[in-house]
Structure 1
Amino acid sequence: MAFAPSPIPSRTQYVLEAIKHDILTGGLSPGQPLVETELAARFGVSKTPVREALKTLAGSGLVVMSQYKGATVRMVDADMARAVYDVRLLLEPEAVRRTVAAGAALDEARDALNRAATAEDPAERSLANRDFHRALYLPCGNPLLGRMLDEVRDQAALVSTVAWATTPSWEREAAEHEEILRLAAAGDSAGAGLAVHDHIASFVERAFPEDGE
């Protein structure tokens, strides 16, 4: 008999989501220590849910656990960025192509795009952009493919947060998102997949150029 995994306790989930939000919106910087006692005091909980939340975040690639330094926000460098975006380049265009080919509803993607356009701060815009991409790849018809992209989603967002802090490119990316959605709405699965590929590739090339470029 198979057993479902135990759900994360509510306090741990609350702490996890709060820390993740701070990391993905720049409230906590790469390399910044995550001290259990300080976080426990901030959230009004014991150290146990903080410790469990940090372990989960380490599993998703946002936090690094060290025997000597404790927990820190993961650093972002060119190698890490290219590795994460390489996975996206291999999987996301095909997932979007399948979503469009299946005629999946695009309401959530359109809503996310509208939220990004009217966002009042970079954090809100970043979260809306993440929702836009997920709304396009998740209905691809292959749950495993969707989960694989979900696994790198947070790391990709961390890369974006770091890149945007030094090289803001919101307007260009917003225009690219509009074009992706236009192609998807037109039922052009090949065109939408290619546009997603070019969108992902151009971002990492601008933010983390190869030496000599």
Structure 2
Amino acid sequence: MPAATPTAAADHGRRREAIAEALLADIFDGRLQAGQHLVTQELAERYGVSHTPIREALIQVSAMGLVDVVPNRGATVRSVGPRDVRDVCQVRRALECEAVRSACGRIDLKELSELATGFRKLLDAPARGAARLMARGRDLDTRLHDVIRSSCGNLFLAQELARLALLFRAFRDLSYRHVSARDDYRRVSVEAREHLAIAEALLEGDAREAARAMSDHIRSGMKYWSRALPELPAARDLSPEGPTTVRRRTRSSLP
């Protein structure tokens, strides 16, 4: 059998990531519920894919602590509550603060300036078009955290942050859906201000201030993520509301 080409391997990885992202969204939104047994065939039909990427995505989500996988017995959704959010954010704060300290002075100043300008525009933007602003804020958030991770100079730290990025962004996107449901978009400007503080500290070459701004940002996010997390009900059959759509990703849309 010929070896998989780099393009085929990349496509396979993007498909697995998209399914893992959809699984996390369905868990956090309560469509896949605490204690629910996950059947590979049902999930394959749910997301419109084959069994292999489903199994791989379940292993990925299991490594984040959201699903228990038992050999020969399948997978079960774990209960997720505010304590889990606090634990995740404690780990995130340790990793991201170290990453931003190490990345200070390593990141291209032009890229940092572009990010800072983007955050300032979010702060100055009118309230109308909130959905577009949220999408822009999401993109800038991803770019800032990704460039810090890739510039930290520590391969193992970067790999661990990359492994957990999907979980962090699932919590973020949950909070954004919470914002939309409440029609209260103040969180978008709060996050823009927090991100701007990080970018400006990096532009000034102040590693200590960058780490402090990162810590403040993650503490703020922890409080908001906890409020957005619903009380997950007891297990039942797959929700009639339907699953989260598996987003087909291009290379440019990877987090």
Shift of the 126–175 alpha-carbon distance from structure 1 to 2, 3 Å rule, reads same
- The CA distance in 1 between the partners of 2:11 and 2:155, in whole Å, is 28
| Superimposed CA distance per residue, residues 20-40 of structure 1 (whole angstroms, 9 cap, x where no aligned partner) | 34356x4x3424335533443
1 or 2 for the larger relative contact order (CA 8 Å, sep ≥6)?
2
1:151 has 2:125 as partner: no
Give 1:59's aligned residue: 63
Give, in whole Å, the separation in 2 of the partners of 1:208 and 1:53.
25
Q: Does 1:205 align with 2:223?
A: yes
Q: Tell me what 2:143 maps to.
A: 131
TM-score (norm 2): 0.62
2:184 paired with 1:164:
no
Matched residues in 2 for 1:111 and 1:64: separation? 42
Structure 1 unaligned blocks of 5 or more: 1-6
Bigger drift between 35-44 and 168-177 goes to 35-44
C-alpha displacement of 1:9: 5.3
The count of aligned residue pairs is 199
Alpha-carbon offset, residue 207 of structure 1:
4.1
1:42 CA drift (Å): 5.8
Q: CA RMSD in A?
A: 3.6
1:81 aligns with 2:93: no
Counterpart selection for 2:96 from 76, 92, 95 = 92
Letter of the aligned partner of 1:120 in structure 2? R
Bigger drift between 56-65 and 107-116 goes to 107-116
Q: Any conservation in 1 of the 2:149–2:158 contact (CA below 8 Å)?
A: yes
1:85 shift after superposition: 0.7
CA displacement 1:131-174 (0-9 Å, x = unmatched): 32121233112111222222332222222233333355111001
Q: Tell me how far 1:182 sits from its aligned partner.
A: 1.3
In structure 2, what is the equivalent of residue 4 of structure 1?
none
1:184 to 199, 202, 211: 202
Query: Which stretch of structure 1 is more off in the superposition, 133-142 or 102-111?
Result: 102-111
CA displacement, residues 56-89 of structure 1 (integer Å, 9 cap, x when unaligned): 33224454446878454x6541111111110122
Deviations 1:148-207 (A, max 9, x none): 222332222222233333355111001111121112112122111111111111221344
Secondary structure of 2:132's aligned partner: coil
C-alpha distance in 1 between matches for 2:114 and 2:62 = 31
Cα separation, 2, equivalents of 1:181 and 1:130: 13
State the partner residue of 1:46. 50
Task: Name the aligned partner's letter for residue 148 of structure 1.
Answer: E
**Alpha carbons of structure 1 residues 35 and 194: separation in structure 2 relative to 1, 3 Å:** same
Deviation at 1:123, TM superposition (A): 5.9
